Amino acid sequence: MKEKIIILDSGSQVTRLIGRRLRELNVYCEIMPPHRMQKPDPSVKGVILAGSPCSVYDPQAPQIDFSLFKGIVPVLGICYGAQMLAYRFGGRVEPSPTREYGRALLSASGSSPLFDGIAFPTQVWMSHGDTITQLPEGAEAIASTESVKNAAFRIKGEDTYAVQFHPEVFHTTEGTAMLKNFAYGICGCSGDWTPDSFIESSVSSLRRQIGNDKVILGLSGGVDSTVAAVLLDKAVGHNLTCIFVNNGLLRKNEFSDVLASYRDMGLNVIGADASAAFLQALAGVSDPEAKRKIIGGLFVETFEKYASQIDGARYLAQGTIYPDVIESAGVPGASKIKSHHNVGGLPERMNLKVTEPLRMLFKDEVRRIGRLLGIRSELIDRHPFPGPSLAVRILGEVTEEKLAVLREADDIFIRSLRGFDCRDMDLASASDPCKKAETLYDAVWQAGVILLSVRSVGVMGDGRSYENAAALRAVVSADAMTADWARLPYEFLAKVSNEIINNVRGINRVVYDISSKPPATIEWE
């Protein structure tokens, strides 16, 4: 039975960072809302109570049944989790005189296994409006900051710990060490969760699940579906048929290039060119949400049409990854970021069983698995790309003419990012603790060009022009929950702007988006 740590998600948008940190420590974990928690079986080594946008006093605040696990397995409460521990067992939680956000220096009060090997004072990251003013009976403070007396505490006689800061975020400099102390030293985890073990166990599981039945998989050209396809091919071979739909909204030469790459990898793939149908359906549509619904619905119809031609198919495979599952789980009291058509699946009338081999993986783990499977870096290291493709990078109605203009500008930007050597530069920012990369493309999380719905006056040659403006967008991020705009070199931006204006008819002005997420999103629509 695979050992694991359960993370109870009460709606914090950084909960998944806890999971990522544990996975980086080779500790398997699962994230679930509190109402789905059950009495732990022997595989559960510990429970982490994550943060929440709620106060413990809010009527809609997620409720936690501590009787299931407290005193039975080790527990670590983080932020809201710490406050809920204090509040439910007789402590006092009150609004802070000033909201406590940002860096703080943590000092220890005596020794604690949670802080083994950590040199104090150490920097931590606070993010809360309430604070614990009185500990529950049987608890003792184990750390404090200048303004937070009970920054960390433990319950005597049991392995229950709590911290009011966030050890999972980059700004808590010893946060990973604290989580390692909890997982290894307190919970007794062995750290056997590795990409190699995942591949071996997944291939065996898929063979048992699918047997000799046939499987169909929709490929997008992205990392997730590509890795899912190669993993399934390793498990069931010729019984897998992949369908790669051309929605007419892909980047320059993407359909032909990616299709050729898939076939070179030995995958059994059908290229479904439905570009004309998508462009016809989008004619006259400007609303972003309407565009997304049209594209999603037509993709399902197209996929269903080609899938119905595959005799004997019993399974539908999807490239669903763990963030998709978490965001679709519906934590009470949390804001829903987005919905995912792949989590819900295709129409029931297809009568196919669903298999999702990457369902429990984060994006960085998917890439690690892909490299071990031998997938080429140009596919594994591709930036995330929106499901509706270039349709949400054209503000307003989508037309063939606009797509042609955007494709050329986008091609120049992406080629330039790939061609710029940045090994002597450091693009790391407050929201991106990335290592130095070889190229600007490697250094940023996601990049693209947005064709704006406004035109501007320009002077080109001896004449006056009145053409579209385009915005360059490049962000750095760890997992897209938050993102900072990439500090691209001025000389690089100048070169790209000049090349786009000189070579792409229809654009006479280029701007650079310096908005971070939040408050902006990565995409414009």
- Give me the active site residues, please: 79, 166, 168
% helix, strand, coil for the chain, step of 5: 35, 25, 40
Nearest to 154 by CA among 178, 128, 190: 178
Residue 174 CA, chain-centre distance (Å), reads: 23
Count of CB atoms situated within 10 Å of the CB of 173: 15
Other C-beta atoms closer than 10 Å to the C-beta of 144 total 19
CA distance 50 to 42: 22
Beta strands in 461-506 (DSSP E): 463-476, 484-485
CB 161, CB 119: distance < 8 Å = no
- Tokens 């565009």 label which residue? 291
Sheet of 75-78, strand order: 29-32, 4-8, 44-49, 75-78, 160-163, 152-155, 139-144, 92-108, 122-134
* Phi (first) and psi of residue 10, to 5 degrees: -100, 20
- Distance from first CA to last CA of the chain, Å, rounded? 44
| 183-215 CB burial, b ≥16 within 10 A, e <16 | bbebbebeeebebeebbeebbeebeeebeeebb
Q: How many residues does the chain have?
A: 525
Is residue 76 within 8 Å of residue 49, measured between CB atoms? yes
Question: Which among 200, 201, 232 is positioned nearest to 216, based on CA atoms?
Answer: 232
Our CA angle for 182, 186, 187, nearest 5°, is 90
CA proximity to 86, closest of 178, 179, 19, 155 = 155
Relative to beta strand 44-49, strand 4-8 is parallel
Please say whether the beta carbons of 516 and 473 come within 8 A: no
User: Tokens standing for 422?
Assistant: 């940045």
How far is the C-alpha of 79 from the C-alpha of 131, rounded, in Å? 9
* Strand extents, DSSP E, 118-268: 122-134, 139-144, 152-155, 160-163, 214-219, 240-246
Evaluated on CA atoms 525, 219, 214, 377, the torsion sign reads: negative
Burial class (CB in 10 A: 0-12, 13-18, 19+), 11: buried
Contacts of 471 (CB under 8 A, 6+ apart): 449, 450, 452, 510, 511, 512, 513, 524
Side chain identity at residue 106, one-letter code: L
